[in-house]
């Protein structure tokens, strides 16, 4: 598995960890999307009413305050996730492999067109090291897309229902996980800060001594600390910055992340309706399958968001209908 794909799986956990259900990230072309970082709308009366009761000055947040915030952000993210599925975008990954001294040893760049096909996020590689793919490699990418389309078109009602039940189960587990988050950390309101030109609450999260996990993955929580920025108007995660405090093993022996590994993600409001990823940076020291150690600094950027009709019949990649 490509390292960046592993990181996306970790980012999903971190998003849940700091109040955002797994989005990010992803499978998400109106022909002219609103520019990233567009100006923020005024805070409506309804939004003010829905805002959690956070203090006006910096300080430690109570359990009731953080639980209130978690519930509202999580509920908004569920609705946001539905809207994300109407979008496609371009993703550019720059991966810097580092030597033992932290110096760049090699650089690889890949650019993908990310499509949402029958609810699945599918990547189509379009450039490597900023050069278009050869005709042969491009054909392979098209074949991959078509296989996904064919698979979904042939999906039985039984398999479709099975997949829907699994998604519902995952959402419920996410809601249960929220309670673990509130118990695992001490949250401190640092004050108000601008992110992408919008007002946010900046909140620090530090592991709470004596935390006892009850759910899968919750045992990872005390091994991370970080800061999050919650958009005041929309109550959505605008930015997340996480650092690994101790060695963490993922998937048994699949990967082991070492202390100091660092992850940052920033989201932005698009088309005045949905929050989508803008940038993901991570610097990790990871050992895969206990055999090979990678020291990687990677930056993923996202652009060209476009919205597609949700009722478009996808019979081939060239026939997907964009909203006019």
What's the CA gap between 144 and 123, in Å, rounded?
9
Condensed to tens digits (0 to 9), the pLDDT of residues 260-307 reads: 888 899 999 999 999 998 998 888 776 666 666 667 788 999 999 998
By the 8 A CB rule, do 24 and 11 touch? Answer: yes
Q: Spell out the residues 6+ positions from residue 68 whose beta carbon is closer than 8 angstroms to its own.
A: 52, 53
Q: What is the pLDDT of residue 30?
A: 28
From 55-69, 190-204, 222-236, the region with the lowest mean pLDDT: 55-69
The residues that bridge with 124 in the sheet, in sequence order, are 113
| Residues listed for the chain | 324
Whole-structure pTM over 0.85, yes or no? no
Could you tell me how far CA 295 lies from the centroid of its own chain?
22
Beta-bridge partners for 206: 186
pLDDT, tens only, 100-153? 677 778 899 999 998 888 777 788 999 999 999 999 999 999 998 888 888 888
Amino acid 78: pLDDT: 77
Residue 310 or residue 305, greater confidence = 305
Structure tokens at 81: 């996730």
Q: What angle do CA 262, 259, 252 make, to 5 degrees?
A: 100
Phi, psi of 110 (to 5 degrees): -135, 140
Determine contact, residues 186/211, Cβ cutoff 8 Å: no
CA–CA dist 61, 108 (Å, integer):
43
Instruction: Look at residues 231, 220, 161, 151 and name the one whose alpha carbon lies nearest to residue 185.
Output: 220
Q: Given this model, what pLDDT does residue 53 score?
A: 65
Q: Are 266 and 285 in contact (CB under 8 A)?
A: no
Instruction: At 256, give phi and psi (nearest 5°).
Output: -135, 115
pLDDT, residue 133, reads 94
230: β partners: 201, 237
Could you tell me which residues are beta bridge partners of residue 204? 188, 227
Percent of the chain scoring above 70 in pLDDT = 72
């Amino acid at each position: 598995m490509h390292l960046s794909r592993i990181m996306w799986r970790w980012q999903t956990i971190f998003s849940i960890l700091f109040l955002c259900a797994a989005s990010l990230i992803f499978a998400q072309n109106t022909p002219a999307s609103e520019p990233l970082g567009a100006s923020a709308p005024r805070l409506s009366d309804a939004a003010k009413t829905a805002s959690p009761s956070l203090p006006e000055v910096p300080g430690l947040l109570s359990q009731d305050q953080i639980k209130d915030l978690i519930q509202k952000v999580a509920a908004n993210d569920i609705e946001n996730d539905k809207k994300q599925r109407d979008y496609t975008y371009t993703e550019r990954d720059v991966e810097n492999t580092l030597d033992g001294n932290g110096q760049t040893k090699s650089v690889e760049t890949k650019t993908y067109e990310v499509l949402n096909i029958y609810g699945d996020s599918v990547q189509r590689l379009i450039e490597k090291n900023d050069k278009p793919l050869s005709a042969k490699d491009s054909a392979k990418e098209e074949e991959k897309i078509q296989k996904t389309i064919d698979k979904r078109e042939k999906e039985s009602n039984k398999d479709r229902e099975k997949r829907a039940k699994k998604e519902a189960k995952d959402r419920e587990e996410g809601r249960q996980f929220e309670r673990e988050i509130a118990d695992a950390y001490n949250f401190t309101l640092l004050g108000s800060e601008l992110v992408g030109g919008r007002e946010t609450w900046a909140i620090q999260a530090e592991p709470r001594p004596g935390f006892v996990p009850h759910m899968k993955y919750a045992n990872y929580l005390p091994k991370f600390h970080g800061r999050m920025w919650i958009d005041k108007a929309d109550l959505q995660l605008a930015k997340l910055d996480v650092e690994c405090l101790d060695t963490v093993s993922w998937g048994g022996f699949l990967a082991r992340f070492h202390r100091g590994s660092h992850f940052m993600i920033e989201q932005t409001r698009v088309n005045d309706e949905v929050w989508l990823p803008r940038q993901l940076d991570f610097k990790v020291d990871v050992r895969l399958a206990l055999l090979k150690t990678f020291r990687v600094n990677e930056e993923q950027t996202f652009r060209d968001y476009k919205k597609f009709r949700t009722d478009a019949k996808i019979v081939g990649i060239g026939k997907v209908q964009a909203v006019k």
